[in-house]
Amino acid sequence: MRALILEALADDYHGCALREVDTPAPAPGEVLVRVRAAGVNFPDLLQTRGLYQHKPALPFILGMEIAGEVVALGQGVETLAVGDAVVGHPRIGGYSEFATALAAELWRKPEAFSFSQAAAFGTAYLTAYVALVRRARLQAGEWLLVHGAAGGVGLAAVDLGKALGAHVIAASASPAKLAAIGAEYAPDALVDVTGGFREAVKALTGGRGADVIYDPVGGDVFDESVRCIAFDGRLLTVGFASGRIPSLPVNMALIKGFSLMGVRAGEYGRQFPERAHENRAAIWALGQAGRLRPRVDAEYPLADWRQAFASLAERRVIGKAIVRPDL
């Protein structure tokens, strides 16, 4: 089978190569999946440089989010059958024509989703769910400010925040992306962060500030978010797409009475396995019910993986880019 292998850590993905490798066989408790779609996530790009928390031994097949069809069962698997359409998060191995995954960590693909939509859904929406529901305990009627709203995890937070009944402010530095978000997801407000956003957020919230701020950007965005968060607010640190890890003057947290909360959805699930199952069940139920709508920005054949990575690195994507090994 063809697979995208990370052979060495390097900038600009120079350590990655598309190779012909043996198709794996499922171990006990696993299934073999014909990969129809694989989501492109920022952690994939970080892994190519050794900058992500999960550091498998080299070489390994990249790709942590798949959707496809079961083609073989490992010993003891009774919950799935050959031909089932499934989605899952194997952590590695997704950018390939076939991938193995634990049967217990796969979900049946919602009929309402295409394979590409399903591959665009799990990681981003699980991150949003852990952040907004588990960590921030977002309530209907609260003001939610979402930074990086055009990205995969940002757009998922906009979509989920609306489903939870919050007043959602979608924030981005791109007017074109904001226009697309407004047309497709109808948040309560759109804010261009270019030149600052503190006063706009204050005005929208009647001077109080945002109750919950979802920040996958970091850097200057984090610094200014501290200035427009409400008393008793929750500031969610999801990532540092800006490239700068900010620092918090703790006197600001004291004076403004807000909480800073770190979000690692995958680690949250590993620490609390029962909650992990509940979290995934909750987002897939919302997806099956049609209350959440993952956005696929573009689909790329596996041979065009470099263009897929570049589209994310250059911030051209609204929602998710997808790699299609079946093309």
> Global pTM?
0.90
pLDDT of 291 > 90? The answer is yes
- The chain-wide mean pLDDT, for the chain, equals 95
Please name the amino acid found at residue 240. Answer: F
List where CATH 3.40.50.720 sits in the chain: 125-267
User: How far is residue 226's CA from residue 233's CA, in Å, rounded to a whole number?
Assistant: 10
Average pLDDT over residues 115-130: 95
Q: At residue 127, does pLDDT exceed 90? A: yes
The fold of the 125-267 domain, in CATH, is Rossmann fold (3.40.50)
Query: Alpha helices of the chain — where are they, by DSSP H?
Result: 42-47, 115-119, 122-129, 152-163, 175-185, 198-204, 219-225, 250-256, 265-271, 273-288, 305-313
Q: What is the dihedral of CA 60, 62, 65, 70, to 10 degrees?
A: -60
Phi, psi values for residue 102, rounded to 5°: -65, 130
* Short-list 102, 104, 85, 83, CA closest to 93: 102
Residues of the chain with CATH 3.90.180.10: 2-121+294-324
pLDDT in tens, 238-262: 999 888 999 999 999 999 999 999 9
pLDDT at 89: 85
Helix (H, G, I), strand (E, B) or coil at 321: strand
pLDDT per residue over 170-199, tens digit each?
999 999 999 999 999 999 999 999 999 999
Tens digits of residue pLDDT in 5-61: 999 999 989 999 999 999 999 999 999 999 999 999 988 999 999 988 889 999 999
pLDDT digits (tens, 9 = 90+) for 87-117: 998 889 999 999 999 999 899 998 889 999 9
Residue 298, both tokens = 């573009």
- AA identity, residue 152: G
State the number of CA atoms in the 13 A half-sphere of 196 facing the CB.
8
- What pLDDT is stored for residue 122 in this prediction? 87
Contact 307, 127 (CB under 8 A): no
Q: For residue 218, report the phi and psi dihedrals to the nearest 5 degrees.
A: 75, -160
- Contact between 161 and 189 under an 8 Å Cβ cutoff? The reply is no
The CATH architecture annotation of domain 2-121+294-324 reads Alpha-Beta Complex (3.90)
> What angle separates helix 273-288 from helix 152-163, to the nearest 10 degrees?
80
